[in-house]
Amino acid sequence: MTDAPTSETRTMTASRVIKASPGRIYDAFLDPDELAAWLPPPGFTAEVHHLEPVEGGTYRMTFYGDAEEVADFEQSFGGIYVELARGERIVYTDEFESDEPAMAGEMTVTITFEATDEGTEVTVRQENIPDAIPPSDANEGWNASLESLGKLVKTASALETTDTSVTVRRTIDAPIEDVWQAFTDPNELERWYGSDLLDVEIHALEAEPGGSFSITMRDTEAEYDIEGEFLDVIEREYLVHTWYVGHVTIEFEDIGGGTEVVLTHEDLPDREVAEQHAEGWMAAIETLATTVRNGEIRGQ
């Protein structure tokens, strides 16, 4: 859904329903790598020079012409984050770096996120658009960007690593019951848990509070035996279990027939161990996404 731009007030509104949770989409607006991947319209690329995702923080980025007809184009812009409420609302200022009077003026951009049965309705309102840019062009650009955003959150994992934790977020194009089964059925877990990095053998898996699991992972150089206990389990909502180091929480959310998975591994001893686990979990979740998307859950 897109509202008609209003030339008199130099304002436009664009919206799109995206198959992902409000939190996942909010994060894609504030992650520099993801923002650079989806924000530029077709024919352009972007570089985020800096981005401080806090109220009062600033950002600066540049669009570059990528297509032949705009090969010489380069435009920088930036502003201040005025309001940040995760999964609900982002408000920021935006101003072009240009000597042209028709490009002058500070815009205000307001983005809202509303959960729907199909995912999240993302609405962008851009005010005080410079005279050099027809509001209809701004509207067209934002619609193209939101389309790219939808594709990105559907196909890419978001990763956050600290000195002691790893969080992987992934929207999976499969029903929540299939994704839940992939985590709790030992035969299914073996199919994706080691990705292409490790062979996995599940000896035991009791996905219930107090239940245990026993896993052997092998690569070309070593064998790893891992045992743990499920601390908390709510069917199709979350799993919490110990690991040989730290503990793991996996959250599941139904989003319009798809599933958002958030895996958090906490209480890791240092940054090196966190980054090692980040690589493994990212690879595993990507293999999971492919497995369930292709209908490879046994019995389907």
Summarize pLDDT for 23-65 with one digit per residue, the tens.
999 999 999 999 999 999 888 899 999 999 999 999 999 999 8
Confidence (pLDDT) at 156: 77
Q: What CATH fold (topology level) applies to the domain 158-293?
A: Alpha-D-Glucose-1,6-Bisphosphate; Chain A, domain 4 (3.30.530)
Please, which pLDDT band fits residue 190 given cuts at 50, 70 and 90? Answer: very high
- Average pLDDT score over the chain: 91
Tens-place pLDDT, residues 74-105: 999 999 999 999 999 999 999 999 999 999 99
Please, which pLDDT band fits residue 296 given cuts at 50, 70 and 90? Answer: low
Distance between CA atoms of residues 96 and 51, nearest Å: 16
Tens-place pLDDT, residues 224-254: 999 999 999 999 999 999 999 999 999 999 9
Q: What CATH fold (topology level) applies to the domain 12-153?
A: Alpha-D-Glucose-1,6-Bisphosphate; Chain A, domain 4 (3.30.530)
Confidence (pLDDT) at 137: 93
Confidence (pLDDT) at 3: 53
Distance between CA atoms of residues 210 and 228, nearest Å: 10
Q: Which residue, among 236, 224, 158, 152, has the nearest Cα to 193 in the 3D structure?
A: 224
Confidence (pLDDT) at 262: 95
Residue extent(s) of CATH 3.30.530.20 domains in the chain: 12-153, 158-293
Instruction: Sort strands 247-255 and 74-85 into parallel, antiparallel or unpaired.
Output: unpaired
Q: Is the pLDDT of residue 300 over 50?
A: no
- Share of residues in the chain with pLDDT > 70 (%): 94
Tens-place pLDDT, residues 105-135: 999 999 999 999 888 999 999 999 999 999 9
Q: Is the pLDDT of residue 5 over 90?
A: no
Burial class (CB in 10 A: 0-12, 13-18, 19+), 80: middle
